[in-house]
Structure 1
Amino acid sequence: MHLSDLQAFLSELSENNHRAWMAMNKPRYDILRNEFLELTGALINSLQRTDPAIANTNPAKALFRINRDVRFSKDKSPYKTIFSASIVPDGRKKPSEGGGPAYYFQFDAQGVLLFAVGEYLPPPHRLRQIRDQLISDGNGFLDAINQDPFRSNFPAILSEGRLVKVPRAYPAEHPMGEWLKYKSFIAVNEISYLGMSASEVKNQLLMAFESAKPLIYWLRTSHHIAVNAYPE
């Protein structure tokens, strides 16, 4: 993947976010999208060796469209200025569907590579499943997020929108009380991809995602994923 070309394209798109510019630069976009698709496919092929649940994931379904949904937005810019993908067992699902934990990554116009694992603002029924799992297997969750490789790649769990109090359905003094306040269970990190090669980016993402598999498996347990989705 030609990352310098990608950054240049996204930067120019940020300054010319309209359909006429995209039409003129469609050949550039098509080349970059195919390269991004290849990177996503290579990641899936590597990750599936220890996570067979994603073995049949179609890379094309993992990619998010560059077109923005502007129906309910004041910003009518027609295109996103990122390339992004979300790897989950059944292809990309909307958060509102509670599709379970994902391996997510994106490149932006400023040269930042963001990568994340887990579930961002899951819907109420899914959030209840995760919180119930915190009650029944809190130690498993803590073991997953406190391993050194995970901490090195993901310094913290995103606390956006965290509640002030433990939800009423759960004991206020429970040892996992602070975690029961969370609305998202997703770990995020950002690095600059400027000057990196495609193979370096792939290796960085693979290392980070491999370190997060204990958290992925723990979240899937709360989601009642089939037993054969886990490595022995």
Structure 2
Amino acid sequence: MAFRGWPQEAFEFYEELETNNSRDWWLAHKATYDSAVKAPMEELMAAVADEFGPMRLFRPNRDVRFSKDKSPYKTAAAAMTATDGAACYVQLSSEGLMVGGGQYHLASDQLTRFRDAIADDDTGTALAQICDDLRSDGYEVAAAETLKTAPRGWDKDHPRIDLARMKGAVVLTHLPRAKWMSTAKALGRITDVWR
């Protein structure tokens, strides 16, 4: 079946889950999750697989073993491409969509190459300009972890120290809940961000 966006029930499901995050509520509303959230997400995953690669849907359950917050369910549904390189990501919540891509956390050898590119005047200046342009266009440039101080061997006053402190690089945009998210236009809006 072709992806036609998420019905309004998907957003309403997460609004209600935010205030009723319990196993009893989840079980009573699981059919809504399956039809309004999971099924459209799987349709999206199938629609983008040829161009962006296979995606995986994250489990709705939270790992609460070491958390003070014992809410059993995530208040958003998310899917990500399952590649070794940069990934594409989409998340649905009561507020709308978060769409982005990149490498959330770089391996040690990747981080070394990333910082070498930042240190180089040509590639580093170009990368900083790309990040500035993305931020000007309303995108967020982030990482899973950002150092509080300069990395070892870096001058704390380096002109691109903000990039060097990042241990990954992702570009995200937050799209507030809108009617187009419940239409086939959602596919184009999501893939435009990924491209």
> TM-score normalized by structure 1?
0.67
Shift in Å, 1:155: 3.2
Q: Which residue of 2 aligns with 1:40?
A: 45
Q: Which residue of 1 aligns with 2:184?
A: 199
1:4-15 matches, cutoff 5 A:
4-15=8-19
Shift in Å, 1:163: 4.0
Give the counterpart of 2:169 among 179, 185, 192: 185
1:72-115 deviations in whole A, cap 9, x for unaligned? 111111111101111242xxxxxxxxx54221121112x32111
Shift in Å, 1:171: 5.6
SS in structure 1 at match of 2:98? strand
Question: Distance between the aligned counterparts of 1:203 and 1:43, measured in 2?
Answer: 10
Matched, 1:138 2:124: yes
Unpaired stretches in structure 2, ≥5 consecutive residues: none
Taking a change above 3 Å as real, the CA distance of residues 152 and 86 of structure 1, as seen in their structure-2 partners, is: farther
- Residue 130 of structure 1 aligns with an amino acid whose one-letter code is F
- Residue 39 of structure 1 aligns with an amino acid whose one-letter code is L
Taking a change above 3 Å as real, the CA distance of residues 67 and 164 of structure 1, as seen in their structure-2 partners, is: closer
Taking a change above 3 Å as real, the CA distance of residues 77 and 162 of structure 1, as seen in their structure-2 partners, is: closer
Contact 2:11 2:96 in 1 (8 A): no
1:119-155 deviations in whole A, cap 9, x for unaligned? 3344555433421332353255346546x6x567553
Shift in Å, 1:67: 0.5
Q: How many residues align?
A: 187
Taking a change above 3 Å as real, the CA distance of residues 16 and 198 of structure 1, as seen in their structure-2 partners, is: same
Higher mean alpha-carbon deviation, 65-74 vs 153-162, is at 153-162
Question: Distance between the aligned counterparts of 1:28 and 1:64, measured in 2?
Answer: 17
Unpaired stretches in structure 1, ≥5 consecutive residues: 49-53, 90-98, 211-232
Contact 1:3 1:194 in 2 (8 A): no
1:150-181 deviations in whole A, cap 9, x for unaligned? 56755342378644543223466655444212
Taking a change above 3 Å as real, the CA distance of residues 163 and 23 of structure 1, as seen in their structure-2 partners, is: closer
1:22-101 matches, cutoff 5 A:
22-32=26-36, 33-45=38-50, 47-48=51-52, 54=53, 57=54, 59=55, 62-89=56-83, 99-101=84-86
CA RMSD of aligned residues (A): 2.8
User: Which structure has the highest strand share of the two?
Assistant: 2
SS in structure 2 at match of 1:25? helix
Give the counterpart of 1:168 among 152, 160, 165: 152
SS in structure 2 at match of 1:8? helix
